[in-house]
Amino acid sequence: MIEYCTAIFLILSSVGFGYTWMKISETLSLKERIGSLRSEIKVMKPVYDNYSIRYKEFQDLFPLINIINTTGSAPDFQRALIIMEQLRIKNVNIHSIQINNEKGESLSLNIKGIIISEGFTDMQNNYQTLLNTIKKNKGIELLSDRVDLKDKSFQIEARYRDNRIL
C-alpha cells in the first residue's frame, strides 16, 4: 500500500513540477513583453510631453478659434426653425415656410399663409403683429411683404443671418 501511495505522490509531484515549469516560462515571457512595452513608453514620453506643452499653449486660443469658425460657417437651420415657432399668432395661419441656403452666408425665408379676420382693420392688425414679431428677431432682415386683400393671403420674404458671437 505504501508503494502505491509513493507512486501516486511521485506522479502528482512530477505533474505539479511540470505545471510550475510551464507557468514560470509564461511568467518570464510576460516579463520580457512588459520590459519591451516600458521601453516603447520611454521612447514615446518626449513626444507626449511635447504634445502636452503645445496643447497648453493652444488652450488659450481655442475660444478665438471657435469664434472664427462659427463666424464663417453657414447659419443654423435649427435656430431659424426655432424663430419660426414664434410666428404662431392668433388668426394667422401659416401654410408654408420655405428655407433656402444662400451661399452659406444666410438663409432665405419665404413665408406664405392667410389671415383670418372679419374686416380689413382686423386683418391689418393681425398682419402687423406678424411683421412686428418677425422684425423683433435680430437675425432676421425683412426683404418684402405682400398682402392680397381678396383672399386675405400674404407672402413674406426675409433673410436670416445667425450673427451671434459666443
- Rounded mean pLDDT of 100-105? 78
- Average pLDDT value for residue range 99-104: 80
Classify domain 74-160 by CATH architecture: 2-Layer Sandwich (3.30)
Q: How far apart are CA 158 and CA 111, in angstroms?
A: 8
Q: Structural domain boundaries of the chain?
A: 2-60, 74-160
Query: Rounded distance, CA 153 to CA 137, Å?
Result: 23
Other beta carbons within 10 angstroms of residue 113's beta carbon come to 20
- The model's confidence at residue 74, banded by pLDDT at 50, 70 and 90, is low
pLDDT per position as a tens digit, 38-54: 888 888 888 889 999 98
pLDDT at residue 165 above 70? no
The region, left, alpha or beta by phi > 0 then psi within -120 to 50, assigned to residue 104 is left
Residue 31 has pLDDT above 50, yes or no: yes
The pLDDT of residue 12 = 92
Distance between CA atoms of 35 and 74, rounded to whole angstroms?
52
Averaged pLDDT of the chain: 86
> What confidence tier does 70 reach under pLDDT thresholds 50, 70, 90?
low
Residue 11 reports pLDDT greater than 90: yes
